[in-house]
């Protein structure tokens, strides 16, 4: 029996061969206007925090503008129930189960989850932010969102925030976690920027420093889930290196855009990851032309995934 990943890839090809064409980003005009984040939109602002008396660096604070986030299509805490919020509730559930050791099989670093795509522009950063926000609403978990797209950082830019020291600075030993971590007005959510660009970013991500950092991040707090917004798999080498450290990888695929061959090639680059999931973005979810997330089997949301020990 073919895996759900293979079924999803076939479904993508069927959609493409059927000649279904959706203008723009495959979202209706009114939905596109609501979801697309203007290039200079300010969805959050940095708040100055006084340095403690002991002279140690303190984490900076970010204030989200929840109204602006909601207008940009991003899930927000305590917002009215929406179809998108419900879709992310379904999307996060198996990820949380695996992260907390309640999945089909125990996973090493199951709480390290990489969000990526085959190519650029498929919605991975939008998915990363929404997934982190949704998980932060859980009662029993905390979330760190890491902008690991070191070649082209997206998370801070999406939120309208300036570049900031972060992951690469930690790996070079030029900063500590307290000095680069961004705390937010979502109690259970923190942000770790990608940091200062570096010509040897791939080597830094493959270094012992990275392995030690991830081990510490994964084990320091038992209730923490860490989401990594990664570069596209087929455009950079950094994402493939990062995947070797992950317990779970979610590949975002844009319906009616990404070719089956690209999906299969992308998946082949992360075969060593124990759990690989695929999220089909902007699928037609109903007869009225609405869009959602899924694997193309008629539902508005869902996954296809493979594991070393189990297949669903």
> Residue 152 is encoded by which pair of tokens?
């082209």
Q: Secondary structure of the chain: what % helix, strand, coil (to 5)?
A: 35, 20, 45
Has residue 4 got a pLDDT over 50?
no
DSSP 222: T
CA dist., res. 19 & res. 110, Å (int)? 39
What is residue 60's predicted lDDT score, i.e. its pLDDT?
Answer: 84
Is 295:128 a contact under the CB 8 Å cutoff? no
CA dist., res. 186 & res. 183, Å (int)? 8
**Which residues have CB under 8 Å from 19's CB, separation 6+?**
none
Per the DSSP assignment, residues forming a β-bridge with 229 are 115, 147
pLDDT band with cut points at 50, 70 and 90 for residue 2: very low
Count Cβ neighbours within 10 Å for each residue of 184-207 and write b for 16 or more, e otherwise. bebebbbbbbbbbebeebbebbbe
pLDDT band with cut points at 50, 70 and 90 for residue 42: confident
- Count of C-beta atoms within a 10 Å radius of residue 253: 31
pLDDT in tens, 73-123: 899 888 788 888 999 999 999 999 999 988 777 888 999 999 999 999 999
Has residue 27 got a pLDDT over 90?
no
What is residue 14's predicted lDDT score, i.e. its pLDDT?
Answer: 54
Q: Tell me which of 305 and 225 has the higher pLDDT.
A: 225
């Amino acid at each position: 029996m073919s895996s759900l990943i293979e079924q999803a890839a076939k479904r993508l090809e069927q959609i493409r061969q059927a000649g279904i064409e959706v203008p723009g980003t495959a979202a209706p005009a009114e939905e596109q206007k609501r979801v697309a984040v203007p290039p200079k939109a300010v969805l959050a602002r940095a708040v100055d925090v006084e340095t403690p008396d002991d002279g140690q660096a303190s984490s900076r604070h970010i204030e989200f503008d929840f109204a602006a986030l909601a207008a940009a299509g991003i899930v927000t805490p305590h917002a009215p129930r929406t179809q998108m919020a419900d879709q992310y509730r379904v999307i996060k559930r198996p990820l949380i189960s695996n992260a907390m050791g309640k999945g089909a099989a125990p996973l090493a670093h199951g709480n390290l989850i990489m969000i990526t795509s085959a190519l650029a522009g498929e919605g991975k950063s939008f998915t990363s932010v929404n997934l982190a926000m949704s998980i932060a609403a859980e009662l029993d978990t905390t979330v760190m969102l890491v902008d690991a797209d070191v070649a082209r950082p997206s998370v801070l830019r999406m939120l309208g925030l300036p570049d900031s020291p972060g992951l690469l600075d930690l790996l070079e030993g030029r900063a500590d976690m307290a000095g680069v971590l961004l705390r937010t007005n979502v109690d259970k959510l923190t942000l770790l920027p990608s940091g200062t660009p570096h010509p040897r970013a791939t080597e830094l991500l493959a270094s012992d420093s990275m392995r030690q950092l991830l081990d510490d991040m994964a084990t320091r707090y038992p209730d923490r889930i860490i989401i990594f917004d990664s570069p596209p798999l087929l455009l950079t080498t950094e994402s493939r290196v990062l995947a070797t450290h992950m317990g779970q990888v979610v590949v975002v695929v844009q319906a009616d855009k990404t070719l089956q061959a690209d999906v299969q090639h992308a998946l082949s680059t992360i075969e060593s990851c124990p759990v690989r999931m695929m999220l089909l973005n902007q699928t037609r979810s109903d007869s009225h032309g609405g869009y959602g997330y899924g694997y193309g089997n008629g539902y508005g949301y869902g996954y296809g995934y493979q594991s070393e020990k189990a297949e669903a």
